[in-house]
Amino acid sequence: MTNTLHRFGNAESFYDDYVVFAIPSRGKNDKGSVPKLKKFLQMALPFNPVNLGDAIHGGALRPCRNMNPTAHWNRDIKPAFREVIEGVDAPTTVAAVFDNRLAAEDFVKTVKEADLGLCVNISTSVDGAEQCCFAADIPRHSVGYSLGFEGKTEKLPNSQVLMLTTMCGHGMISSSLAKKMIDWVKEGRRTPEQAVTYMARFCSCGVYNPSRAKRVLEDARTKMK
């Protein structure tokens, strides 16, 4: 089970969304796991991740207490990968996010060879995860399915908003913010890059995928819905 399980979209929409987790088990293998978690994140760098995450301290794009709201549009939008790696100081869940399958496959191969002794979880479409396992020559242990939304689904936001908000599995990105970013991109008031990094800073565990979010915003601008 993972908080990324409920990312909204059909299987094809995850072709640029691969999240690979490393997780120690409390009382089992958490002792001495911090260097292993750091190594896991370090190993991801050669494969050009679009985000790295530490469930305690956040991702490569983080908020700052010393800035006013207007600073968001002018600040550095380059992901701080090194800050994430160096900030891991306790057993936690870490993640590397990729926007293409080949990078994810190569990373999973590297993780297998490193044999860190940590639980590893791949979150994407079922077919995408199986491809990663096949490339690394490992059998799939299990699979988790999201059953989607139940109830009065007509009251849900539109699909573009849902795709943007559900990439933060902890619900830290509001529907109103996502809709506002879509509107601002359509109106030319902000670029997709600015809007994406603004939203990504609210994701508290760093599994937000800026590439997929940018694609959603570009589609919204093109289709003008």
Contact 97, 200 (CB under 8 A): no
Instruction: Please report the DSSP string for 155-173 in residue order.
Output: GSPPHHHHHHHTTSTT--S
CA distance 26 to 91: 8
- For residues 22 and 94, is the Cβ–Cβ distance under 8 A? yes
| E strand map for the chain | 18-23, 51-54, 58-59, 94-98, 119-123
Round to whole Å and give the CA distance between 17 and 61: 17
For residue 224, what pLDDT is reported?
57
Average pLDDT for 192-209: 92
Q: Which of 180, 217, 194, 175 is CA-nearest to residue 61? A: 194
pLDDT in tens, 92-110: 999 999 999 999 999 999 9
Q: Say how far apart CA 201 and CA 157 lie, in whole Å.
A: 21
- Is the pLDDT at 38 greater than 90? The verdict is yes
Band (pLDDT 50/70/90 cuts) for residue 82 is: very high
Residue 192: its pLDDT value, please? 92
- Residue 83 pLDDT: 95
- Beta pairing partners, 58: 54
- The pLDDT score that the predictor gives to residue 225 is 47
Structure confidence at residue 148 (pLDDT): 83
Burial class (CB in 10 A: 0-12, 13-18, 19+), 98: buried
Structure tokens of 165?
Answer: 């908000």
The pTM of the full predicted model, rounded to 2 decimals, is: 0.92
Assign 222 a pLDDT band (cuts: 50, 70, 90): confident
CA–CA gap between residue 85 and residue 209 (Å, rounded): 18
Per-residue pLDDT for 63 more than 90? no
State the pLDDT confidence band at 2, using cuts at 50, 70 and 90.
low
Burial of 103-125, coded b for 16+ CB within 10 Å and e otherwise, reads bbbbbbbebeeeebebebbbbbb
